[in-house]
Structure 1
């Protein structure tokens, strides 16, 4: 049986992944438009190619990280220890990246920072850690 907190964290990771994929696709879609507008404004093609290339690289990078969030959410919901470790890693990275926003008291940075901190705290608790290790081996659950 999966604990409720694990389910909530898993769905949070899936939500982050879906939103990230949509954002990455929108960056890819609008990178070409921004490059076209920049090349028209600069009356040259080098700026347009540079912006287009940067936009595509940024969009693909966002999509890769979003897919990793989806994988972490799947792993958490399947009670796989690699999913727990991946979620711990991404929550810690997210906490570090949100630090400037938290210091300036932005409400969304505070909210997402609290969610990341709660995820780290919850997944690092010994009973939850044992549940993930026991889920991989049915014999461990009997002990």
Structure 2
């Protein structure tokens, strides 16, 4: 039988994260105990598993709860087979690879599958999945990250 993750356990994950990454000022921890550097990555992970996440800021005194997608009372811990520990370096490398892919990609309709995958990866909101809409969203995102 798996253990239930409590807020105290999430706090201990955040504390350990801050010990391991002294230059980071915030972390997002999903209810299954995975820490993320970026809120977007925590949101994507939480949405996939229909759980919520909490934001911790270095030196926190209280937990900042984020809205739950579908409230769950019991969660898996790192002792559960379903748990996979997040590797922040891997997450960062993956993000940087996607940024490079976006910068090198020609934003045209012929590259629809790559456009769609990048929009999903970066969590960009679009009104539809048509190529012109995806291109516009990615162009705006490219401009935003180059500032």
What's the TM-score bracket when you normalise by the shorter of the two chains?
under 0.3
Q: Which has the larger radius of gyration?
A: 1
Higher strand share: 2
Higher relative contact order (CA 8 A, sep 6+): 1
Higher helix share: 1
